[in-house]
Amino acid sequence: QPHKPLKVYPDISTLKAAMPGKVEAVYQYTNPKTHKAEMLVLRSMMTDGKTFRQARPVSGGFVFEAPPKPWPLYNRIRIQTADTVVVVEGELCVHALNLYGIISTTSSCGAGKGEYTDWTPLAGKNVILWPDSDGQGLAHMQQVEQILQGFEPQPRISSLEPGDIGLKAKEDAVDFIKKLKTTDKAQIQTALVEALKHLSCQRYRFSL
C-alpha cells in the first residue's frame, strides 16, 4: 500500500486549527544557528485531559510528524550561554523557571523518551535534574543522567529531591511556584534558588 502523503499546513495558525480540543501552547524547538524551528510541540486541552502532537517544518509549511531522531532539546538558544541548566519534564516547567531567570530545558514527549533526544548541548555544564514527583519522573531523570555521564566534557550533575522542597505526588516546578502563593518576582526567584540548593549530590553552589 502506497504511503499517503502528509497534509502540509502553510503556517502555525492552520496547524493549531487542525488540532483537536483547545490549543493552549505551541512550543518551538529552535535551532540556535538558524533561529528556525526544527520541531513544534502543540499542547491541547481535551475534555478528558491534555494531549500533545509533534510537527516539523517542510517545504511550504509544516506537517504533523516528528522530525528524525535524535530530537532537539528545548530552549537551546538560552542553554548555549548558560553555566547551569535545570532539566525538567515538560515545556511548561521550562517557561515557568525561565520567567525567574533560571535557565532550563526538557526533552520532548515526556518521561521515558530521553534516549530519543540529543542532549549534547549540556556537555560540560552544571546540570540540575528536577524530576516530577512520581516514579516515572524519577526513572526519567535517572535515564537522562546515564546519557549525560557518557559525554566529554562530562557535565557536573546534581539531582533535586522533590520531597525535600515540599512537593507531593505528581507535582513539579510549576506546582512549586503556585504553592508559594505570591506574585512577587523577587520572592519567587529567591525561593527557587533556595529550592535548588536541596541537591542529592551537591558538587557546586547554585547561583544566578
Residues in Cβ contact with 149 at an 8 Å cutoff, skipping those fewer than 6 apart: 157
37-77 pLDDT, tens digit per residue, is 999 999 999 988 889 999 999 999 999 999 999 999 999 99
Q: At a CB cut-off of 8 Å and minimum separation 6, what does 117 contact?
A: 70, 71, 72, 73, 107, 108
Beta pairing, strands 126-129 & 84-87: parallel
pLDDT for the residue 199? 80
| pLDDT classification of 203: cutoffs 50, 70, 90 | very low
Helices (H), ranges, 19-134? 76-81, 91-98
Neighbours of 46 (CB within 10 A): 11
| CA gap 32, 21 in Å, rounded | 31
Cα 6 to Cα 22: distance, rounded to the nearest angstrom: 22
Strand partners, 44: 23, 51
Residue 66 exposed, middle or buried by CB count within 10 Å (0-12, 13-18, 19+): middle
Distance spanning both ends of the chain, measured CA to CA: 56
Residue 55 CA to residue 32 CA, distance in Å, equals 18
The pLDDT-based confidence of 152 (bands split at 50, 70, 90) is very high
Question: In this predicted model, what pLDDT tens digit does every residue of 166-176 receive, in sequence order?
Answer: 999 999 999 99
Q: Residues 7-16: pLDDT tens digits?
A: 999 999 999 9
Asked if residue 145 lies in contact with residue 68, where contact means CB atoms within 8 angstroms, the answer is no
Residues 6+ apart with CB under 8 A from 38: 29, 30, 31, 56, 57, 67, 72
Q: Quick check: 91 pLDDT over 90? A: yes
pLDDT digits (tens, 9 = 90+) for 21-44: 999 999 999 999 999 999 999 999
- Distance (Å, rounded) from C-alpha 64 to C-alpha 115? 21
Please state the φ and ψ torsions of residue 149, each to the nearest 5 degrees: -65, -15
